[in-house]
Structure 1
Amino acid sequence: MSLRGWLDIHGHFYPPQAPGEAEALAESFRAACFMVSRPVTWEVESILQYNGQANVQMQMLSYIPQSSPEKLKQANTYAASLVSKYPSRFGLLAALPTDDPELCLSEIERTTSTFEIPADGFAVTTVYNGVGLGDPRLEPVWDALNSRKAVVHIHPNAYAAPANGRPSPLIEVAFDTARTVVDMLYNGVFRRYPDIKFVLAHCGGVLPILSGRLALLGTEEWVPNPNDITRKEIEEQLGRLFVDTAATAKTGLQPAVKMVGLENVVYGADCGVPCSTEQTMEENRKDIMDFEAQNDIPRGTILANAWKLFPQAAARVTANDV
C-alpha cells in the first residue's frame, strides 16, 4: 500500500464511556459556553468511514483527559489497542500528564516499550492542571524526549474557561498556544532540547503573526530575558517548530509558512470532537489545496510532509502493500 493519502496528525478520540458519561460530558461543554446539542461520543467505525471518504490514510489519535492520571493511562492503552487492530489506519500520540514529571517519564517508557505497536509520538497540552510547559520541573521529561528525538504535539488547553460568553476553542486557544511557546522559548526549552520535533496545533495559533514582533522587540532591554535568548535564536528556534493545519488553513497557512517553512507544515483535521464537523474539515482541507495551487506549490506537498515526520507509521502502511 503506497503513501497515497493524508496523514492526519490531529485526531481526537474518547475511550469507551460509562452510562451517562457522554451526557455529563455534553453538560460540562454547555457549562463552558460550548453549545453542543447531543451527548458527546466517539465511534471508531464512523471515523474510519469519514477518513476513507476524505482520503485520510492514517490518523494519529490523542486524548488528554483532565485531572485523572488513571484515565489518561487508560486512554493511551485504549488507543494503542486501536492501533494494533488497525495498524495502517491509526497511530498514537501518547498523552503525557505534564503536571507530574515522574508519571510522564513512566508513561513515556510504558507507551514505547510495552505496547504491541509503540507510540508514534506524544501529546501534551499547554497547561495541564495548572502547570505550563515552560515549568522547570519538566526538564527531565524534555531530556527523555530529546534523547528519543520524539515528535511532541502541543495542543492548547481545551478545558480553559470561556471568555466573554464564548467557548475557549473559538479563539482563546490561539492565544494560549502563543503564550506557552513564548514561555518555553524564554525559559530555554528549545535551546536545550533541539532534537524534539514540536508540532503546534492550529497553524501555531497567533504565534506566526506575532513572530516578527517577537523577533523585533523580544531582546530589547525592557523585556525580562534571564537566559539571554538572542534575536537569532528567536528566529531560528521558532523556525524549527512544526505546525498542523487544523481549522486554520484559510488565513493561517501564509504566516505559518513564513515562520516555519513549507516543509514543517503538516496536515491536521481536528477530527473527533464537537468543534469540528465533516463540513468544516472538508472546507479546511480544500483551503490547503487552494493554498498550494495559488502559490505554485506542487499539489500534495503538505499531504506528504507528515509521512516524513512519522517514518514508523509510514512503514506500517507500506508493509500492507499488496
Structure 2
Amino acid sequence: MAAAQPTTTALTQGSTYPTGGYIDVHAHFSPPSTQDERLRGWQAMLGRGIYFPEPHEWSLERTLAYMDASGTDMQLLSNIPGALPALRASNDYGARLVADHPSRFGLLAALPTDDPEAAVREAVRAREDLGAEGFAVTACYNGVHLGDESLAPLWTRLNDWGAVVFVHPDARRPPVLDHPAPLYEVAFETARTVFDMLFRKTFTRYPDITFVIAHCGGAFPALTGRLRLLGAEAWVPQGITADEIDAQLGSVYVDMAATAAAESLLPAVATVGAGRIVYGSDWGAPCTTEASADANLRGLVQCGALSSEEVEGVRRRAADLFPAAAARLARATAGRP
C-alpha cells in the first residue's frame, strides 16, 4: 500500500512527530438530525450527568478538516443507535458517506445484538447491499452482553465470513457515584463483557472473527493478571485457566482511542502484544475535541510505552484488517508526491 508522507500540523503545537498515514478504526458519526432532536439528545445526556455545554452535531466538513490536519488518511466509521429503525437508517447513511468519500471512510455497520435474528439480517444486508468493511457492536446492548448464548447464530455467520467486529461500550448509561459513565464506567463494562466472553469460550468457538476492543480494552488488560491467577480456583463457576485465557486472546486486538498513555498501553502490550494495537481517535464522539484527540495522538508517540517501530505499526495496522478499505486508500494515495 502506498504511504502518505508524514506531515506536521498546527494542531501538534510545535511537535515534530509524524502525523501522516493514520488509519483510524474508532471514529463515530451520526446521521443528520433536526435541532429539536439534538436538543432532546442533549437534555438526555444532562439527565445522565454528562454536562456537555451544547447539543452535539456531527459535521462532515469538520471531520474532514480534522483528518487533514492530523494526517488521518481514513476513518472506519461506527454509530450504534439503541433502536433497530434508527440503527438501520444510520447504517444507510454511513454507507452513503463511504460512497461519497471512498478513500476517506469505511463503514463498520452496527448490529442490534439484543435481537439475534435481526442482527443476522442486518449483517447480511450490510455486507451485500452496503459494502460494510466490518461490524460494530455494543458490549452490552439493551441489556444483552456479547457472550450471551442467543448470539451463536450471529457469531457463526460472522465467523464464516472471517469478519472484523469492533466492540464499543455504551456511553449512554446512567452516572455511577455521580460521575458520568463515559469517564471510567465504560472501561469496566468492557472488561465485564470480555471476561464473560472468555468464560463462555466465545473467542475459541469463533476463531475466525477478529474482535477489536475499544479504548485499549477498557479495564480488561489490567485485570487479566487477576483472572489468570484466580480464574481456575474451585470456587469459580465455569473456571478458566491461564493457558485458556492466553489462547482465547490470541486473536483479539485493541485500539488506543482516548487511552494513549503508558498507564493504559502497557497493560495492553502485556495482555495482547504491541502487534495487536491499532489506531483509534474516538473522533465524532461528543466527548472528543480537536484538542483531546491531538493530545491522544501525541501520547501515542511520546508516552514511552511503544518503540518508534511499534508506533509505526499502530499507525498502519488497520490496513491488514480491512484490505478493501486499504485498497481504496492505496489507489487514492498512489499519485501523491
TM-score for both structures, normalised by structure 1: 0.95
Q: Residue 291 of structure 1: CA displacement?
A: 4.2
Q: Does 1:14 align with 2:30?
A: yes
Q: Residue 120 of structure 1: CA displacement?
A: 0.5
Q: Distance in 2 between matches of 1:141 and 1:298?
A: 34
Q: Distance in 2 between matches of 1:308 and 1:132?
A: 28
Q: Residue 240 of structure 1: CA displacement?
A: 2.3
Unaligned runs of 5+ in 2: 5-20
Taking a change above 3 Å as real, the CA distance of residues 318 and 239 of structure 1, as seen in their structure-2 partners, is same
SS of equivalent to 1:20 = helix
SS of equivalent to 1:173 = helix
Q: Residue 293 of structure 1: CA displacement?
A: 8.0
Select 2:254's aligned residue among 238, 243, 261. Answer: 243
Runs of 4+ in 1 over 3 A off after TM superposition: 291-299
Counterpart residue number, 2:42: 26
Report the number of matched residues: 317
Note if contact 2:275-2:310 (Cα within 8 Å) is conserved in structure 1.
no
Counterpart residue number, 2:233: 220
SS of equivalent to 1:7 = strand
Note if contact 1:289-1:300 (Cα within 8 Å) is conserved in structure 2.
no
Cα distance per residue 1:206-226 (max 9 Å; x no partner):
11111111111111111101x
> How well do the aligned residues superpose, as a CA RMSD in angstroms?
1.4
SS of equivalent to 1:249 = coil
Q: How does 1:30-179 map to 2 (within 5 A)?
A: 30-66=46-82, 68-115=83-130, 118-179=131-192
Letter in 2 for 1:73: R
Counterpart residue number, 2:269: 257
Counterpart residue number, 2:323: 311
Taking a change above 3 Å as real, the CA distance of residues 253 and 299 of structure 1, as seen in their structure-2 partners, is closer
Note if contact 2:201-2:248 (Cα within 8 Å) is conserved in structure 1.
no
Letter in 2 for 1:61: L
Q: Residue 33 of structure 1: CA displacement?
A: 0.6
Q: Percent identity?
A: 46
Note if contact 1:98-1:131 (Cα within 8 Å) is conserved in structure 2.
yes
Q: Distance in 2 between matches of 1:3 and 1:112?
A: 27
Larger mean CA deviation between 290-299 and 88-97 belongs to: 290-299
Unaligned runs of 5+ in 1: none
TM-score for both structures, normalised by structure 2: 0.91
Letter in 2 for 1:62: S
Q: Residue 292 of structure 1: CA displacement?
A: 5.9
Q: Residue 18 of structure 1: CA displacement?
A: 2.5
